[in-house]
Structure 1
């Protein structure tokens, strides 16, 4: 039996971060991945393919609306060609996540299904068992299939199958209105499908600031048919169509589609690990319980990424991986903080989020200050003809930023300055004092932050004292 300082189960973003970091620090490292390739869901079914897919859809959308410049377009979209481009993007990035690269770093890579034999030993299907002083679980999550009547008798699409499609459906119904579903629903609509989104919650994007929710939904409703507060009762095949029966306020309605896309959340990939053999505890949904140091209830076993049920984002898994390398190899107890962890929903326009929403901030703090700015007041967005959206920055009474939100083209890029400011403990006034080369998109942040100084300097006691001084000064 081979013995390792650390065994990593799962070759996604978090697992690769731990494996490469541990090996680089001289630890004898094993990485177990059930697939034949590394990269995890992000590379093969999530971030990478979806963004390539969305970019193609946006190009089609732009081409359809280029008539304003006197150019006419025609033709039918080839979904196969779109997904060929998706696979090219995956293949290009796969080179950085290749097994050979990690073996060159000193990682022993094993392909196969991993199960716990006990709290230190891991069985790999068809191979020898491994012993690990420390073990990191990073097996991610999969699309959740809800218990909807008839769903097991009707073919449906998820983010794991959409990128193999070759024919564009005329009509699609998305069950679920979370970020994954909405990104792909908008993309499908822009490619030419007639799309309906059925969401159980009262609004789309339920974790976002309420003002962001309202504007995002209003924009999406121009391209999609959106139904909120809906409960899906059953699905079935009728006359060659996939029927979805749902009720709103007790009234049942049905919709016919060529394809059904499930976007009802994620479920952790923990069921096959035989965690009971190691004594590792999970919650009722199967997510592995961890403390702030990302340790499970078994002190030498850690869990990172989607599997621990915190924030299901690739960059979060990567940050957790960095922390775990230190805690696992050196016995440290550094704690993971999510206070300044941003996320971005890649709709058009994009939706950016970091920190508290206005509602959360008002519940947590006695008093908060709200600074907003419309993108139509920012020259670069006007010249780009993409000025729909706004910025909102939330601070305490001393100017400390507790939350920031935006909806606008490229928001995930130009709002990054706010993330840096929050992480460094800078106040909103510091964002105003930065120099922004004109005309750029980040001026949206500056114009929002400028309001802090206008309120501070041009009203109240400072303005009164200045007026008295100017009357006296000759």
Structure 2
């Protein structure tokens, strides 16, 4: 039986971070991946293909919109086959960075197959059984499929299958209005599908700040039909169409669609690991519970990424991977901090989120100030004719940033400065002291921070003092 310092189960973002990091520090590493290629869901059915998909939709939408404004008529149908060929080409380029050869050349032993625990230190892959001093579970998640009568029999799409489609549905029903649901819904609508989104909650984007939700709702409703506070209770097939029964309160509505996309959340890939053989526990939803150092209840076994249920983001899995390398390989205690996790929803315009929302601040009873600017006040967005959106920065009583939110063109890029400021404990006033080359999009941050200084300088004692100073000495 081969023995390793670290066994990593799962070759996605988190697992690859641990494997490469541990090996770079001199550890003997085994990496187990059940799929044909490394890279995980993010590369093959998640972040990468969806962003390529979304970009194609933006280009088509922009071309149609600009042509119409210039008096040109645009006609014809989009080839979903061609679009998904482009998606796969993006995956192929990035796959090179996550190739088997790259990790094998690092000196990592790569095993292809399903890794199953046989004890708390041993894992079996096909006919091989290996031993690990430390074991890291990084098996990710998959689309959660709700129990809806007839859904399985009629068939449906998920983020794992939509990028294999060749024919664009004329009418598409999307179940769920989270990030995946909204991103793919908008893209499909821009390709030419009539898209209806069904959401059980009374609002979409429930984790976002109310100001952002208000703007996002108005913009997305221009392209999508929303049925909020509603449930899909039955699906059947009739004359080649899918008949979907949607219930809101006591009212039942039947919709005739060509295809259904399920996007109601994720479920962890923890069910085929034989965790009981290792004594590892998981919660009622299947997520493996961990402490702040990402240890499971078995201290030498760690769980990172989607499978631990903290945040289902690739960048979080990567950060967790770095934390585990320090804890498991170097033995230097480090806790994972989830208070400063940013995320982006790649609708058009993009939605950016970091820290607390205004609602959460109120619930916590924190004394705060809110600084909000519409992008119509920022010259670059006006010049681009893309000024839909707002930026909102929330601070405590001392001016320290405790939350920042934006919706606007490229918000995920130009809000990066705020992430740095929060990470280093900077105050909103510090953001005003930077020089912003005119005219750039990040000037939205400057305009927001300037409000803080105007309130501070011109509504307090200072104007009275300077008035006397100017009168007597200047």
State the TM-score, normalized to the length of structure 1.
Answer: 0.99
Name 2:456's counterpart in structure 1: 456
Alignment of 1:34-183 (within 5 A): 34-67=34-67, 68-125=69-126, 127-183=127-183
Taking the aligned partners of 1:155 and 1:83, their CA distance within structure 2 comes to 20
After superposition, what is the alpha-carbon deviation per residue over 1:254-306, rounded to whole angstroms, capped at 9, x for unaligned? 11100000001000000000100000010000000000000000000000000
Taking the aligned partners of 1:406 and 1:253, their CA distance within structure 2 comes to 35
Which stretch of the first structure deviates more once superposed, 245-254 or 19-28?
Answer: 245-254
Shift of 1:164: 0.3
Name 2:307's counterpart in structure 1: 307
Q: Are 1:216 and 1:407, in contact at CA under 8 Å, matched by a contact in 2?
A: yes
Taking the aligned partners of 1:134 and 1:366, their CA distance within structure 2 comes to 41
- Unaligned runs of 5+ residues in structure 1 are none
Shift of 1:74: 2.8
- Unaligned runs of 5+ residues in structure 2 are none
Q: Are 1:295 and 1:303, in contact at CA under 8 Å, matched by a contact in 2?
A: yes
SS at match of 2:328: helix
Which stretch of the first structure deviates more once superposed, 454-463 or 407-416?
Answer: 454-463
Aligned residues: 473
The ranges of structure 1 where at least 4 consecutive aligned residues each deviate by more than 4 angstroms after the TM superposition are none
Name 1:287's counterpart in structure 2: 287
Taking the aligned partners of 2:433 and 2:364, their CA distance within structure 1 comes to 28
Taking the aligned partners of 1:116 and 1:366, their CA distance within structure 2 comes to 46
Name 1:421's counterpart in structure 2: 421
Which stretch of the first structure deviates more once superposed, 205-214 or 419-428?
Answer: 205-214
Which stretch of the first structure deviates more once superposed, 270-279 or 240-249?
Answer: 240-249
Q: Are 1:365 and 1:396, in contact at CA under 8 Å, matched by a contact in 2?
A: no
After superposition, what is the alpha-carbon deviation per residue over 1:431-450, rounded to whole angstroms, capped at 9, x for unaligned? 01011111100000110011
Shift of 1:244: 1.3
Name 2:9's counterpart in structure 1: 9
Which stretch of the first structure deviates more once superposed, 201-210 or 191-200?
Answer: 201-210
Shift of 1:362: 1.9
Shift of 1:151: 1.3
Taking the aligned partners of 1:175 and 1:242, their CA distance within structure 2 comes to 14
State the TM-score, normalized to the length of structure 2.
Answer: 0.99
Shift of 1:100: 0.2
Alignment of 1:271-420 (within 5 A): 271-420=271-420
Shift of 1:471: 1.9
Alignment of 1:236-255 (within 5 A): 236-255=236-255
